A = this chain, B = another copy of it.
Amino acid sequence: MSKTGSSGTDERRVYGVLAPVLTPFHADLSPDAGRLARFCRWLLAHGCSALAPFGTTSEANSLSVDEREKLLDAIREDGVPAERLLVGTGACSLTDAVRLTAQAVRHGCAGVLMLPPFYYKAVSEDGFFRFFAEVIERVGDARLKIYLYHFPPVAHVGFSRKLVERLLRAYPRTVAGMKDSSGDFANTKTMLDAFAQDGFDVFVGSERFLLAGMRGGGAGCISATANVNAGAIDRLYRAWRSPEAEALQAEVDAVRGAVEKVPLIPGLKAIVAHHAADPGWLNLRPPLVDLPPEQRAALLADVAALKLALPDLRG
């Protein structure tokens, strides 16, 4: 499973900059599949090497399993390529996780990005191992590639080094990598040092750590702000060995800093709504709510000052 094996980098694996794609909603809060497919295509044409729909930024856990299934079917039918999708399929319920993961495999998606079951908190390593083992056995398909989504600040549960090791030992052809959204690069470094050489692809969860991640043997980043700044983040990804890398890192950090001044998901939707001249993008499902007008205005002013390269989305 090494990505530096006889054939070099595994052609079917995804690398680089991935956006956990924002989910647009109609006014009645039903998901808007057509607008989502257009946005996916736009992201793939403007810096994203692949996409991670149904992540935290996608409000995926605010959707039902039926809604998630229908949306994936719809964007695939609308031409979004399966080989460029890491689909979020983690769920608290084993049966939900199996159903969503099996669907992604049926579509031929590059992989799935799985949160651990996140309701119970005092869960043993054995319990998490058994959850993933059940999903893998029940899906029962050699094409399945699982990326572990480590996000303790929100999920309050996550993947220890020992758990990753145990999963890799049991399912070396299935467990393909990780998104580390711990916000703690020391944790990312631990995972890189322990597993990257064996082809375990570690993506940083914020472009703030992209340069450090690449220097440590990482595979790229899967970051919320790639929804609005994928072009610049991709330039950094491609140039990480160059003398300009530090300057490019500072550039993407400045955009991240501006967006992080406000709640991230409503902030990103406000930026897309503005650049797409489409207020429908402001819709969020509760419990998330849109920004107060003055906060939105301040964010858009900050972003304008940074000359964010987000072209017209209307096309």
Contacts and interface: CB of A to CB of B under 8 A. Distances in A.
Interface of A: 29, 56, 61-67, 92-96, 99, 116-124, 126-128, 130-131, 134, 153-156, 263, 285-289
Contact of A287 (B96, B127, B153): B127
Contact of A94 (B123, B128, B286): B286
Contact of A128 (B93, B123, B154, B287): B287
How many copies of the chain does the oligomer comprise? Answer: 2
A153 B61 contact: no
Contacts of A124: 287, 289
Which of A61, A119, A126 is the most central at the interface, judged by chain B CB atoms within 10 Å of its CB? A119
Contacts of A66: 95
A199 to B, nearest CB: 27
Contact of A119 (B95, B123, B128, B154): B154
Given A127-B288, A134-B286, A289-B127, A95 B67 contact: yes
A305 to B, nearest CB: 26
Per DSSP, are chain A's interface residues mostly helix, strand or loop, or mixed? loop
Nearest to A68: B93
Given A61-B117, A119-B155, 7 more contacts: A66-B95, A67-B93, A67-B95, A118-B119, A121-B156, A122-B263, A123-B288
A63 B117 CA distance: 11
A64 B117 CA distance: 13
20 contacts: A61-B92, A62-B92, A62-B94, A62-B117, A64-B96, A64-B99, A67-B93, A94-B285, A117-B287, A118-B119, A119-B154, A120-B154, A120-B287, A121-B156, A122-B263, A127-B288, A128-B286, A130-B287, A131-B286, A131-B287
